[in-house]
C-alpha cells in the first residue's frame, strides 16, 4: 500500500507541473471517507493525563487527507495514552492544495478548538510533508508559538523542493502561474518561491518551540532530502537511515513506517517526561 501511495504522490506532483487535473482523481479516498477521522483521533471528550499533558494534532500533507495520512500512526498514539486530533485543511475532496497561509489559519482555529475542549495549555503537532512545514507559518505569523510545545515534521518541505529539477524546468517554460492555478500550495512549496523566502527569512525557528525533523535519504518528492532539515536552537534533525540503515522508505511511505512511528513516540515521550521534571 505504501509503495502505491508513494507512486501516486509523485505522479500527482508531476501532474501539477503538467497541469493535468485528471491525474489527481484517484489519489484520495471518496469525499465522505476522507472526512472521517483516523482511528483514535478526534475523541473530543479526551482529557490529557499527567504523563501525556499535551494533545497531539496531526496535520496531513499535500494531496492527502487525515483519514489516509494517519491511518496507522493515530491509533498507535492513542494506544500510548495521547489525546489525538486530526484535521483536513484546504478545499476538498483532495486536500492540501490551497493557499498555505489560509491553511495555517485553519490549523490555528483547530488548535484553539482542541485547547478549549481538552483544557490543555499547549499542543504538540505532528505533520507530514506540507503538514510538517505549514505549521511553521502558524508558529511564526499567527501566534502559534504560544500554543505549540513541539513540532515534529515527517519529510517536511521546510525549504521547498526542486522536484528533481522539474521546478526549474517549469520556471523556464513559464508554467509557474498555471501551476499555482491548479495547486497553489505546490507553487508555494517550490524552492525559492516568495512564500518559502518569507517563511525562512530571519531563521528557521521561533523561540519557545521544540522541533524534530525526520527525513529519508530516499525522498523523491522533497528534494534534496536535506532541505527538510532545520537550523536553529531546539532542533533535532534525524535521518531515518541513521536509525535503520536498511529502511528504504520514501517520502510518502515514511508516514506509515514503524521506525518513524517509534521515533515520533519517543520524541513525544521525552518531551513529556522532561515536562514533569
Instruction: Give residues with Cβ within 8 angstroms of 274, minimum separation 6.
Output: none
Under DSSP, the state recorded for 237 is E
Q: Does pLDDT of 205 surpass 70?
A: yes
Phi, psi angles (nearest 5°) of residue 64: -125, -175
Lowest mean pLDDT across 4-8, 39-43, 45-49: 4-8
In this structure, what C-alpha cell is assigned to residue 61? 500533507
Phi, psi angles (nearest 5°) of residue 210: -95, 140
More confident residue, 179 or 108: 108
Q: Does pLDDT of 100 surpass 60?
A: yes
The answer to whether 211 touches 230, Cβ cutoff 8 Å, is yes
Please state, in angstroms and rounded to a whole number, the distance separating the CA atoms of residues 48 and 43.
12
The answer to whether the peptide bond before residue 42 is cis (omega within 30 degrees of 0) is no
Contacts 24+ apart (CB under 8 A), 174-181: 175/17, 175/19, 178/19, 179/16, 179/17, 179/19
Residue 93: predicted pLDDT? 77
Residue 33: predicted pLDDT? 67
Average model confidence (pLDDT) for the chain? 86
In order of start, what are the domains of the chain with their CATH numbers? 2-276 (3.40.50.1820)
In this structure, what C-alpha cell is assigned to residue 242? 541513521
**Would the CA dihedral through 92, 98, 101, 104 be positive or negative?**
positive
In the block, residue with C-alpha cell 523561540: 207
**Would the CA dihedral through 79, 266, 149, 136 be positive or negative?**
negative
What digits encode the pLDDT tens for the residues 109-156? 999 999 999 999 999 999 999 999 999 999 999 999 999 999 999 999
Residue 11: predicted pLDDT? 44
Please state, in angstroms and rounded to a whole number, the distance separating the CA atoms of residues 15 and 6.
14
Phi, psi angles (nearest 5°) of residue 14: -65, -35
Lowest mean pLDDT across 33-47, 123-137, 140-154, 176-190: 176-190
Please state, in angstroms and rounded to a whole number, the distance separating the CA atoms of residues 189 and 157.
7
Under DSSP, the state recorded for 163 is G
Lowest mean pLDDT across 1-10, 57-66, 105-114, 222-231: 1-10
In the chain the beta strands, taken as DSSP E runs, fall at 56-59, 84-87, 123-128, 148-154, 210-215, 235-239
Please state, in angstroms and rounded to a whole number, the distance separating the CA atoms of residues 247 and 103.
32
The answer to whether 241 touches 247, Cβ cutoff 8 Å, is yes
Amino acid at each position: 500500500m505504501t509503495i502505491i501511495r508513494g507512486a501516486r504522490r509523485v505522479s500527482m506532483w508531476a501532474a501539477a507541473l503538467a497541469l493535468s487535473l485528471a491525474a489527481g482523481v484517484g489519489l484520495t479516498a471518496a469525499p465522505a471517507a476522507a472526512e472521517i477521522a483516523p482511528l483514535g483521533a478526534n475523541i473530543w471528550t479526551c482529557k490529557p493525563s499527567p504523563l501525556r499533558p499535551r494533545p497531539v494534532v496531526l496535520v496531513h500533507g499535500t494531496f492527502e487527507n487525515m483519514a489516509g495520512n494517519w491511518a496507522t500512526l493515530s491509533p498507535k498514539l492513542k494506544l500510548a495514552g495521547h489525546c489525538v486530533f486530526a484535521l483536513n485543511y484546504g478545499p476538498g475532496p483532495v486536500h492540501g492544495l490551497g493557499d498555505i497561509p489560509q491553511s495555517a489559519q485553519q490549523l490555528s482555529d483547530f488548535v484553539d478548538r482542541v485547547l478549549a475542549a481538552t483544557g490543555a495549555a499547549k499542543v504538540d503537532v505532528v505533520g507530514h510533508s506540507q503538514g510538517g512545514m505549514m505549521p511553521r507559518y502558524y508558529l511564526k505569523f499567527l501566534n502559534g508559538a504560544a500554543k505549540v510545545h513541539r513540532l515534529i515534521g515527517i519529510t517536511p518541505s521546510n525549504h521547498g523542493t526542486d522536484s528533481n529539477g522539474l521546478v526549474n524546468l517549469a520556471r523556464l517554460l513559464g508554467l509557474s502561474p498555471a501551476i499555482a492555478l491548479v495547486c497553489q500550495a505546490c507553487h508555494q512549496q517550490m524552492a525559492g518561491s516568495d512564500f518559502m523566502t518569507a517563511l525562512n527569512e530571519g531563521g528557521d525557528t521561533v523561540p519557545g518551540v521544540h522541533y524534530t525533523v525526520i527525513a529519508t535519504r530516499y525522498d523523491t518528492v522533497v528534494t534534496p532530502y536535506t532541505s527538510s532539515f532545520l537550523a536553529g536552537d531546539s532542533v533535532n534533525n534525524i535521518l531515518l537511515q541513521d536509525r535503520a540503515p536498511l529502511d528504504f522508505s520514501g517520502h510518502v511511505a515514511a508516514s506509515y513506517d514503524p521506525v518513524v512511528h517509534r521515533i515520533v513516540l519517543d520524541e513525544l515521550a521525552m518531551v513529556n517526561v522532561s515536562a514533569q521534571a
